[in-house]
């Protein structure tokens, strides 16, 4: 049995909305996190990263749940603004500073680093799911179909 997937056509007309929204989202994140930049493996850097990604993921869930099929609004607010606001790419340099590889470390730093990594990923995902449920509820209450 062969499974075939059809690729949705690229809607190039939405690209400027994504780019403009992304620029605004990145600017807002930059202004909010300026006291902590650049993000580092310190407690304040990790809290900042967790806060930005959790808030952005929750808002992205609400937007996706509430807007339904409005592609232009989704491109600007979702992929653009909130995509630019969240900062999952900042996880990569932070991982290099965490003691994840020291499995024989008696201080437990490797275990703490692993738990921290799980929280940095799981909490924003849970927030996105909660936001999506909230957004769908908002859409239903307003008479939408999401």
Per-residue pLDDT band for 40 (boundaries 50, 70, 90) equals low
pLDDT band at 145 (very low <50, low <70, confident <90, very high): low
- The pLDDT of residue 33: 80
Alpha-carbon span 138 to 24, nearest angstrom: 25
Inform me whether the pLDDT recorded for 44 exceeds 80: no
pLDDT over threshold 70, residue 6: yes
Q: What is the pLDDT of residue 1?
A: 65
Question: Which letter does DSSP use for residue 7 in this model?
Answer: P
Q: Residue 111: which of 96, 101, 120 has the closest Cα?
A: 101
117-132 per-position pLDDT tens digit: 788 889 999 999 999 9
Task: Quote the CA–CA distance of 98 and 37 in Å, as a whole number.
Answer: 18
């Amino acid at each position: 049995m062969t499974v075939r997937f059809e690729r949705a056509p690229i809607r190039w007309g939405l690209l400027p909305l994504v780019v403009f929204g992304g620029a605004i989202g990145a600017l807002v994140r930059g202004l909010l996190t300026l006291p902590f930049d650049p993000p580092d493996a310190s407690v304040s850097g990790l809290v900042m990263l967790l806060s930005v990604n959790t808030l952005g993921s929750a808002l992205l869930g609400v937007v996706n749940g509430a807007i339904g099929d409005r592609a232009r609004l989704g491109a600007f607010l979702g992929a653009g603004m909130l995509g630019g606001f969240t900062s999952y790419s900042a996880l990569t340099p932070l991982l290099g500073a965490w003691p994840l590889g020291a499995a024989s470390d008696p201080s437990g730093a490797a275990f703490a680093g692993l738990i921290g990594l799980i929280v940095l990923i799981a909490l924003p995902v849970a927030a996105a799911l909660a936001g999506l449920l909230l957004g769908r509820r908002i859409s239903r209450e307003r008479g939408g179909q999401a």
